[in-house]
Structure 1
Amino acid sequence: MQPIFVDTRGLKGALAAFRAFLFYLNTFAWAGPLFVIMVFLTPYVLAFDRTRRKAQHFFNTLWAKISSFPFYRVVISGLENLPPQEQPAVYVANHQSFLDITTLFHINRDFKFVSKTANFFIPIIGWSMFLTGHIQLDRMDRRSQQKCLKDCGMMLERGTSVAFFPEGTRSKDGKLHAFKRGAFVVASRHNVPVVPITLDGTGDLMPNSREYLLFPGTVHVRIHPAIPPGPVDALTRAAECAIASGLPPERLAPEILGT
């Protein structure tokens, strides 16, 4: 597997750029017709399943799997640690790459992603996120942050899980960094478990800020035992430790190694 920071010159870089081109071509080719189906289903979904929107999530999952399987392999361990489908939970994962979102859909749980507002303006893909009811967040706007937490709480109260990348943004150096408290405030306040998930390999395949490259390889998804509801700081630290346990030491930032 390629390291996170790679020499992109020569044949290897050219092949990675070509693979990325094919990946995006495949992604948008499937996103179009699946989005049309989602649009036609919207009246039914809003009438009978306004919050969870399982039908829309099904097509999100189908799109993610079709987009990824020709280009990289996903190996999942710890499926027995997933809570039941009907159990609302806060899912948290480390964030290395653009591929993290498509990869997380492989665990076959319907949840609402917390995603930056700009992503909802991406043609077709962002629009499908809107139809599915994923949660918008402008990290620079305090009111947006407060609304995001409120929306997440509403989802949980109505039986719908939410998913966060608690580092707040994709890692710039490929290492796991300290978590922000928002996801754990939501879990503690609404008395739901936190499910930590380690994603290992997405940053090797498509490094952050080099989304024009896609290397072949395997992504390992490790689902850790759910953490029962508790104080915010304890939840944060427990989730950090769980996710860090699925990564080699060289992928941990000093603030993680030192605590």
Structure 2
Amino acid sequence: MKGWAWQCANALQLAFTAAWTAVWISLALGVVALTGRRDWALRMASSCWAPGLLGGAGARLRVEGVERIDWSRPYLLVANHQSVIDVCALFRAVPVPLRFLLKREMTRVPFVGWYARVTGMLFIDREDRRAGPLLRRDAAGMLRRGESLCLFPEGTRSLTGAVAPFKAGALQSAIDAGVAVLPVAIEGAGAVLPVDGLFRVRPGRIRVRVGTPLPTQGAQGQPDRQVLAAQAHAAVVALLRRPA
């Protein structure tokens, strides 16, 4: 009976997630069509869509370290990746409009793909080896315009919670734009919405910890991207290990 009850609860949660997403994305697209303000649509994600999905999943969000960051500056945020609900947690935690690097396949997802295109998200075709240089150019341009971008440099979600090595090429755009890399650690998201299974939600706590920005400009010149990736990875791991 307990397993059957969880299956029913997850089915209802999935229906709620789809309906909530469709409604708020439709409203956001309408706002962009009427005003041309993509930043307003991003604000709607952080203030309405994301908290609704987190609350509906029974996720209690705790954010640490965000108050120490100068958010008047753009950053390339790099985070570990445990679950699709990571995006909701980051939207809610970061107090400025935030864009993401997404898989090219997301463009085919109704509503989500439309919203991502309209709000200026970036996409990567992981099967196209020529996509890297173009993506880095577009990402650097976004950062130079003062827009913050978030990516998951592991390249995929973790099945175990362990943080895989960061792909160094993803951080080159921050070096090119002269923008600091901001490490962010997400803990608990994999337990709330695990990567395995179709849709299996369990209430729990998600903790987002924001670290210290890693400069890409300084007296020693530009850092090597391999070194920068290793530093960012070590910072995220250290944040995850920090006691609650």
TM-score category of the 2 structures, normalised to the smaller one: 0.7 to 0.9
Normalising by structure 2, what TM-score? Answer: 0.87
- Which string of whole-angstrom CA distances, capped at 9 and with x for unpartnered residues, describes residues 39-81 of structure 1? 32224554xx5xxx21110122221111111321111111123
Bigger shift: residues 213-222 or 36-45: 36-45
Q: Distance in 1 between matches of 2:169 and 2:11?
A: 35
Aligned length, in residue pairs:
233
Counterparts of 1:200 and 1:159, CA distance in 2: 28
Distance across 2 between alignment mates of 1:16 and 1:235 = 43
Look up the equivalent residue of 1:199 and give its one-letter code.
I
* TM-score where L is the length of structure 1: 0.83
1:145 maps to a residue whose letter is G
Partner of 1:21: 11
In structure 2, the residue matched to 1:5 is none
- Tell me the residue number matched to 2:91: 105
Matched, 1:117 2:107: no
Task: Report 1 or 2 for greater relative contact order, CA contacts < 8 Å, sequence distance ≥ 6.
Answer: 1
Aligned-residue Cα RMSD (Å) equals: 2.0
For the residue of structure 2 that corresponds to 1:215, the secondary structure is coil
CA distance in 2, matches of 1:19, 1:76: 27
**Sequence identity percentage:** 29
Cα distance in 1 for residues equivalent to 2:127 and 2:139: 18
Alignment of 1:66-81 (within 5 A): 66-71=52-57, 72-81=59-68
Unaligned runs of 5+ in 1: 1-9, 250-259
Match runs of 1:19-58 below 5 Å = 19-46=9-36, 49=37, 53-58=38-43
- Distance in 2, matches of 1:45 and 1:136, equals 24
Q: Secondary structure at the match of 1:245?
A: helix
1:6 aligned partner: none
1:242 aligns with 2:235: yes
1:1-259 alignment runs, 5 A limit:
11=2, 13-46=3-36, 49=37, 53-61=38-46, 62-71=48-57, 72-84=59-71, 86-107=72-93, 108-229=95-216, 230-231=222-223, 232-248=225-241
| Cα distance in 2 between the residues matched to 1:202 and 1:80 | 22
